[in-house]
A and B are shown apart, each in its own frame.
Chain A
Amino acid sequence: MSAMPVLASFGGAFEFIFTPQRSNVTGGNGVGGIHQVVELALTQLEVTVLAMALALVIALPAGLYFGHRGTGELLAIGLGNAGRAVPELALIALMAAVIGVGLLNLTVALAILGIPPILTNTFVGIREVDRASVEAARGIGMTEFEIVRKVEAPMAIPSIFTGIRTATINIVATATIAPLAGVATLGEFIIGENVYGDNGVLAGAILVALLALALEFGLAAIQRRLTSKGLKLTPV
């Protein structure tokens, strides 16, 4: 295939993003356009933030605790790896039968997707902190909690953030299927191909990719700030 039709379809997709387009099945109403794009993107962001918050609340303390104690490796790594194998759609469907469709279902199902990378990377990050530093901290009379907060966690920031970034990307990308479970996200453009057409499908894919990139850059920036502060605290 030459480049021209590909470029043309990208052009159509960008038009779709900014101005409402004609559709055969809507009785003359336009579809797409910046208004709908922003609304759906915000919903996708909202779902992602909620699911990440839930995943962090569960996985971060667990990873820090087990990493610090040096126990539960089997649990942290095993659960982490097992979690990756859970098919998200089956999970959403299962949740739909238990708690019904909607935001709560999605938040829980997507959080389960985010827990493994955070848990595993936090655990590994803490384990890999130089034992001498930890012993030194203990030697100057820090409590176990202070060791985690002031020594281990700051030094493990790069690893922890790898987990957080992976989880965020997984979640924001998977939130694309939310329109099948009661929440309208950008996936609506992709799933509702009859309404939105090829331009909508491509626009949906582009928008999800952009959203993922934006989150990735945002988290990278946060990581940089936290890391420099962390390095000041750890004179290695």
Chain B
Amino acid sequence: MRSKSTRLRAAATLLFALALSLSVAACGSSSDSSSSTEGGEGGAGAIVSNPENGKVSLTIGSKNFPEQEILGEIYAQALKAAGYKTKSDLNLGSETVALKAVKSGTISGYPEYASTALTSFFGLEPEEVPSDATEAWEKSNEEFEKEGLTAFEPTPFASANAVGLLKTTAEKYDLKTISDLEGVSEELSLYGSPECRQRIDCLAGLEELYGLKFKSFHPVDISLRYTVLEKGQADLSILFTTDPQLSAEKNKFVILEDDKHVFPAGNVLFVTKKSTAEKAGPDYEKTIVEVQKGLTLEVMQELDARVELEKQTPKEAAAAYLKSAGYTG
């Protein structure tokens, strides 16, 4: 039953992405050759291929939105450059599905936000999530280890949910922080993912921790989060702080400051089974930690922009990152 729903959701997201971008299926073909396995020379941090690693097969997963798929591709291509036999199984759906896939061994590992791990997997309240990246990592790792899992060092960038709106709306109501919504939220409609309604780091938190009431809440596919604002359907929409639109179109879209910390920010941790890490040898962790060092907020936004705005495939964006940062030749 679950695999059916996963497939349905995967198909759903895929079709949405396809239909919205009007991109043709052909772009995915012949992409397997895009990652070069002959690292060695080139940039300073170039990944060296170790023939020993050829005995190990890895499957890198990701959740079902562009940023995740880009990260999944970056890890997969970097590990391939390090000599591993690598496959990717992106677009796995929600974190629950992705975590189960790691535990069952369907995938070797996937990138997860520390904040999501702590709240969704380990039951912390949003305000209990440490704002320090290392602290959040250590806290997550304590919990992961109890389940035979381990999380590698966090990425430099962090991502969080945010309440976004058109700049014109923000100016009309003079909104800068989420608290400013008090008194006007009753006139405003909010759009978010179908899960948002009940999540404490989403609508439930806005209602309970900020004490806000909205005119209405509408569930939509994540890929439509800017469309609903642009079409004037949504007054407010749940966005991500790493969204490229926020820097590329800062005269159009703005986000409200989360002054009560309902949306904890999370750096990305690569989650894997301890046994997988041992079997794969030292290059596994080394490659992942090394390759994500260049992933600052600006770089991540730029990569998101390539996929969400310029309609590149996550595979292409990841390959471009690895090349320009000197990881592959």
- B8 partner residues in chain A, CB cutoff 8 A: 177, 190
B-side interface mostly: helix
Complex: A190 Cα to B1 Cα, angstroms: 10
Q: A27-B205, A201-B1 given as contacts; is B119 within 8 A of A194 (CB)?
A: no
Q: Do B224 and A89 have beta carbons less than 8 Å apart?
A: no
Q: Which residue of B lies closest to A180 (CB)?
A: B221
Min CB gap A132→B, angstroms: 49
Distance A195 CA – B16 CA, assembled complex (angstroms): 22
CA distance A188 to B199 in the complex (A): 13
Contacts of A26 in B (CB 8 A): 198-200, 204
The answer, yes or no, to whether B231 is at the interface (CB within 8 Å) is yes
- Most chain A C-beta atoms within 10 Å of own C-beta, residue among B122, B194, B208: B194
Q: A100-B231, A197-B96 are in contact. Are A24 and B218 (CB under 8 A)?
A: no
User: Does A97 lie within 8 Å of B1, measured CB to CB?
Assistant: no
The total of Cβ contacts below 8 Å across the A-B interface reads: 129
Closest to A90 in B: B19
B93 at the interface (CB under 8 A from A): yes
Residue pair A102, B233 in contact (C-beta under 8 Å): yes
Q: Please, which residues of chain B bring their CB within 8 A of the CB of A29?
A: 198, 200, 204
CA distance A187 to B231 in the complex (A): 25
Q: How many residues of chain B get a CB closer than 8 Å to chain A's CBs?
A: 46
B18–A90 CB distance below 8 A: yes
Q: Does A205 contact B (CB under 8 A)?
A: yes
Q: Give B201's nearest chain A residue, CB to CB.
A: A25
**B184 CB within 8 Å of chain A:** no
CB atoms of B20 and A31 under 8 A apart: no
The answer to whether residues A181 and B220 also contact, given A193-B5, A194-B94 and a CB cut-off of 8 A, is yes
Closest Cβ of chain B to A44, distance in Å, is 13
Name the CB-closest residue of A to B218. Answer: A182
- Once A26-B200, A182-B220, A193-B93 are accepted as A-B contacts, the answer to whether A89 and B16 lie under 8 Å apart by CB is yes
B253 CB to closest chain A CB (Å) equals 17
State in angstroms the CA–CA spacing of A25 and B125 once bound together. Answer: 8
A interface vs B, CB < 8 Å? Answer: 9, 23-29, 31, 87, 89-90, 93-94, 96-97, 100-102, 177, 179-184, 187-188, 190-195, 197-198, 201-202, 204-205
Binding site for A on B (CB under 8 A): 1-2, 4-5, 8-9, 11-12, 15-16, 18-20, 93-97, 119-123, 125-126, 191, 193-195, 197-201, 204-205, 208, 218-221, 224, 227-228, 231, 233
- Give 27 pairs: A residue, B residue, CB < 8 Å, sorted on A: A9-B1, A25-B200, A27-B125, A27-B126, A28-B200, A29-B204, A89-B19, A93-B16, A101-B218, A101-B220, A180-B12, A181-B220, A182-B219, A182-B220, A183-B218, A184-B219, A190-B8, A190-B9, A191-B194, A191-B195, A192-B197, A194-B95, A194-B96, A194-B195, A195-B197, A195-B199, A205-B4
* Apart from A101-B220, A201-B2: 11 A-B pairs, beta carbons within 8 A: A24-B122, A29-B198, A101-B218, A102-B218, A177-B8, A182-B218, A192-B198, A193-B94, A194-B95, A201-B5, A202-B2
